[in-house]
Amino acid sequence: MNCHVIDSLDFIGGQCSALYPEKPIYDIPGHPSILAQDLVNNLKIQADPFSPTYHLGQNVQKLEKKDGIFQLTTSKETVINAKAVIIAAGCGAFGPNRPPLAGIEEYEGKSVFYMVGRKEDFRDKNVVIAGGGDSAVDWVLSLADIAKKVSIIHRRPKFRCAPDSHDKLLQLAKTDKVDLVVPYQLDGLSGADGQLSAVNVKTLDGKSKSIEADILLPFFGLAMELGPIANWGLNLEKKHITVDPATSQTSEEGIFAIGDISTYSNKLKLILNGFAESSMACYAARKIVYPGEEMHFEYSTTMGVPA
C-alpha cells in the first residue's frame, strides 16, 4: 500500500521531536532506554524502504467521501485521494499554555522557550524554569549539570511530580546548582532586544524579587485541540475517537484512529500500544484497499523488506 503522511509540524516525530527530543523513553521493547529523537530517527529509517510521502507543515482541513474514496484537502491546498485514512494525531494539534506576561512575545524563540530541543544550548546559562509538574522538575534534573544555575518557580512548596524526582530535586536544592523559588509565581520579564536579563516573581501576598536569567522555560502544560477532526462525524468521547479495539476502525468505515487520540475499554496510552494499534489498522485497511483479495500473512523474518 502507498502511504502519505500529513503533519502540521515542519518535521516528523510529533511530540517526541517537538517537546522532549533529548529525554529518554523506557517502554520501547528492545531498548532499555532510548532518546525520543533517536527513536524517531530509527523509525524513519525503518519506514524509508516503503517510500512514504511526507506532507509537512500542513494539516487536513477537509475530508469528503465519494464512491468509496476519501478526498483530503490540506491547509496548503494539497489534495490526496485515499481508500483508507488512519488518524494518528495524538491529542490533536498542540501548543504551549503561555504565561500571561506583558511583552513575552519579544523574547519567545530567543530567550523564552516552551520546549527543550538541545540541552547543550543551555550550557553555562542562568536558566529559570516555571512550573510544578513532571516536565518542569525533569528538566531541572536534566539541566542542573549543564547550566550555570537552574531556578525553579512554583506557587506552592509541593510539586506535582514523581516521588523519586521530588527527592532528587530536594537534594539538588541543597547545592548551589538549583534554587527553589517557592512560593512564587511569574510577574514580569526584564531584558532588551529579546534577551532576558532577569525574571521577576512575586508571592500571593505581594512580596516580590528578581532572579538573574538568561533563559526562561515555562512549563504550564499544552493546549490540545482536535481542530477539523471534530467535524468529521466520528464518535467522540471527551475529545477522543472511539474505535473497535480489534481493528482500530472508527464509526466511519475506512477511517481508523490509533495512539493517544483513540479510545476503547481498558485503553493504555503507551507508545508501545500505538505500534500494535497501527499494525491492526493497516491489516484491516488492506482489506478495504484490495477488496476480495486474500492476503497471505508472512513474518518479516521470512519476507524481509523492499530493497
Q: For the chain, which residues make up each domain, given as ranges?
A: 4-94+223-303, 98-220
CATH fold, domain 4-94+223-303, is FAD/NAD(P)-binding domain (3.50.50)
More confident residue, 21 or 194: 194
Domains 4-94+223-303 and 98-220 are alike in CATH topology: yes
pLDDT score at 217: 97
Which segment of 17-21, 85-89, 176-180, 242-246 scores lowest on mean pLDDT? Answer: 17-21
Strand order in the sheet with 208-212: 185-192, 195-202, 208-212
Residue 160 CA, distance from chain mean position? 20
41-85 pLDDT tens trace: 999 999 999 999 999 989 899 999 999 899 999 999 999 999 999
221-254 pLDDT tens trace: 777 677 888 888 899 988 899 999 999 999 999 9
pLDDT score at 94: 65
pLDDT score at 299: 87
Class of CATH domain 98-220? alpha beta
Q: What is the mean pLDDT of residues 11-33?
A: 88
Judge if the upstream peptide bond of residue 183 is cis by omega within 30 degrees of 0: yes
